[in-house]
Amino acid sequence: MQRPCERWVRLTSIGIGVALVLSACGSGASQAPEATPSTATAASVAPDTSDSPDSPAATEAPTGPDAGVLNTAVVTIGDQRYEFSDVQCSIFAPRYIQAGNFGADPEVQIVLPPEGWESQADTFSPPSVQVTIGDEFSGGQIWLAGDNGSPTITPIAAGSSQIDSYVVPDGRPVTATGTATFIDLAAHRLGEDAPSVSGTFEVSCP
The string of pLDDT tens digits covering residues 72-87 is 999 999 999 999 988 9
The answer to whether 99 and 203 have CB atoms below 8 angstroms apart is yes
Task: Please tell me whether residues 16 and 67 are part of one structural domain.
Answer: no
Q: Is the same domain home to 83 and 148?
A: yes
Same domain flag for 98 and 166: yes
**In a domain? residue 126:** yes
Task: Give 91 or 42, the one with higher predicted confidence.
Answer: 91
pLDDT at 29: 44
Q: Same domain, yes or no, for 72 and 167? A: yes
Query: Quick one: pLDDT band at residue 35, thresholds 50, 70, 90?
Result: very low
* Residues 147, 128 contacting (CB under 8 angstroms): yes
Does residue 80 share a domain with residue 27? no
24 and 116 assigned to the same domain: no
Same domain, 137 and 193: yes
Average of per-residue pLDDT values in the chain: 75
Pair 75, 124 in one domain: yes
Q: What's the CA gap between 48 and 53, in Å, rounded?
A: 12
> Is the same domain home to 116 and 25?
no
Indicate whether 105 and 165 sit together in one domain. yes
Q: Is residue 55 part of a domain?
A: no
Q: Tell me whether strands 128-133 and 69-77 are parallel, antiparallel or unpaired.
A: unpaired
Mean pLDDT of 41-66: 38
Mean of the pLDDT values across residues 17-38? Answer: 43
Considering its fold, how many domains does the chain have in total? 2
Q: Is residue 132 part of a domain?
A: yes
Residue 42 lies in a domain: no
Going by C-alpha positions, the residue among 124, 130, 63 that lies closest to residue 101 is 130
Structural domain range at position 130: 62-205
- Considering the domain boundaries, does residue 52 fall inside one? no
Q: Are residues 68 and 21 in the same domain?
A: no
Task: Measure the CA–CA gap between 62 and 119, rounded to whole angstroms.
Answer: 29
Residue 158 lies in a domain: yes
> Taking 50 as the threshold, does the pLDDT of residue 189 lie above it?
yes
Same domain (yes/no): 148, 70: yes
Burial class (CB in 10 A: 0-12, 13-18, 19+), 150: middle
